[in-house]
Amino acid sequence: MANLIELLPLLMFPVLGFFLFSGYPVAFVLGGVGLFFGLVGMELDIFNFKEFFLINSRIFGGVVENIVLIAIPMFVFMGLILERSGIAKELLQSLQIMTRRAPGGLAMSVTLLGTIMAATTGIIGASVVMISLMAYPAMLAANYDKKFTSGTIAAAGTLGILIPPSIMLVIMGDLLSISVTDLFMTALVPGLMLAVFYMIYIVFKNYNNKAVITVPTDLETDLSIVIFQGFLPAILLIMMVLGSIFAGLTTPTEAAGIGAFGALVLTVLKKKITWNKLWEMCDGTIKTSGMIFGIFVGATAFSYVFRSLGGDDLIINFMNGFSGGPWVIITVLMVITFLLGFFFDWIEITLIILPIFAPILNGLDLGGHVETAQILPWFAVLVAINLQTSFLTPPFGFALFYMKGVAPKSIKMNDIYKGVIPYIIIQISGLILVMIFPAIALWLPRILD
């Protein structure tokens, strides 16, 4: 019996999965299942009713008070302004014209946009929603199929967590007691490498794709007009956001606010706004924020109960059950991280695994494959790539939920689930490459030292 009680947290996953597919809102399924298992824990005397108090503490301390998350409503607002005013459409159309000779030019532009956006924030909710708002209508209008469009946007939107600056890398540095600057440098090349892989896949996939409209014919007439009216203003805006970060004017979080304000000013300058439209943009932002934070709040209740019932210990015992050479250990750690990614958010995963992984890794001898001093940063990047992937893996890919929340009604969860599969394969290939060739990650910090 005692053993069965210890296994209780594991039971949370199938129950969660079952109700998830019922079609009831994800946010409330998370919260409800968490609550239910807390009550079961009370019956079994391993949970105390008072412990639910911490759900409030977690919402307040982890979500409300978390300055970094301010980026979400701001970037969502910026994305909505750009979309509703038509500026996003003009930008992507001009990108489409400029890249018309490349197969899948528009899709590549979206990936490029994601890579650029990645440098502004590492907050997945913000970047995925913003890119979805801007790119979905344009890509669907250009006849890209729903699955490919969804996958491309999801992958581009999650790059932000890998490409510095990234809050995830900061927290990982904190938990592993390693330098964040080093970690930023270590993650940069692998992040860019993945972006390049995405683009190669896009070219490959669209090489003979006759269905995709590469250039809207009515727009091809005057390239300079397209560039000056569609491309430059929006690019200047994005550069302003990036610039304010790199010039040290603002933190990445504040840059989101600057971006929203800039987008609003641009809309006013282009005379594309009315009061009604502004309220519409506000309400859209409010609903999208409600959607994203609903998931945050539900997820924090779920993972809290999981942990409080001893879920961490289950995972730790499971990991300690493995023995073998260093490569076996590293592979097992990677697989566990990947599996956890099916259900948890990166922050919960890093809190479970990193403190346990660090001592294991510190004692590892990789026979010169990676210098002992560099095992931790190298491994951190492996985990980071893995966690970026976790945003994409069904059923619980948070990036997929956020996309679904703002995608056109014609997009079904199934399109998104299927569309990300090629990108997940790319991610895993990238991960394996960095494992085999550590220099991909370690080269840059080494030459900068």
258, 334, 382, 392: which one binds another protein (CB under 8 A): 258
Cβ neighbourhood burial of 342 (10 Å; 0-12, 13-18, 19+): middle
CA distance 13 to 69: 27
Shortest Cβ 422–another protein spacing (Å): 20
54, 232, 235, 421: which one binds another protein (CB under 8 A): 54
Binding mask 348-367 for another protein (x = CB under 8 A): ---xx--x--x---------
Residue 284 or 422 having the CB closest to another protein: 284
Is 64 one of the binding residues for another protein (CB under 8 A)?
Answer: yes
Is 143 one of the binding residues for another protein (CB under 8 A)?
Answer: no
Shortest Cβ 295–another protein spacing (Å): 7
Stretch that binds another protein, among 99-107, 210-218, 366-374, 412-420 (CB under 8 A): 412-420
Residues 6+ away with beta carbon under 8 Å from 293: 63, 72
Query: Residue 5 — left, alpha, or beta (φ > 0 → left; ψ -120 to 50 → alpha)?
Result: alpha
Shortest Cβ 24–Na ion spacing (Å): 19
| Span 375-394, contacts to another protein by CB under 8 A | none
Tokens, residue 299: 């997820």
Q: By rule CB under 8 A, what count of residues binds another protein?
A: 108
Stretch that binds another protein, among 72-80, 126-134, 146-154, 198-206 (CB under 8 A): 72-80
**Interface positions with Na ion (CB under 5 A):** 118, 122, 160, 163, 166, 341-342, 390, 393, 396-397
Stretch that binds another protein, among 6-14, 47-55, 187-195, 336-344 (CB under 8 A): 47-55
- Positive or negative torsion for Cα 190, 163, 92, 429: positive
Residue 397 or 445 having the CB closest to Na ion: 397
10, 15, 19, 433: which one binds another protein (CB under 8 A): 19
Per-residue HEC secondary structure of 292-338 comes to HHHHHHHHHHHHHHHHHCCHHHHHHHHHHCCCCCHHHHHHHHHHHHH
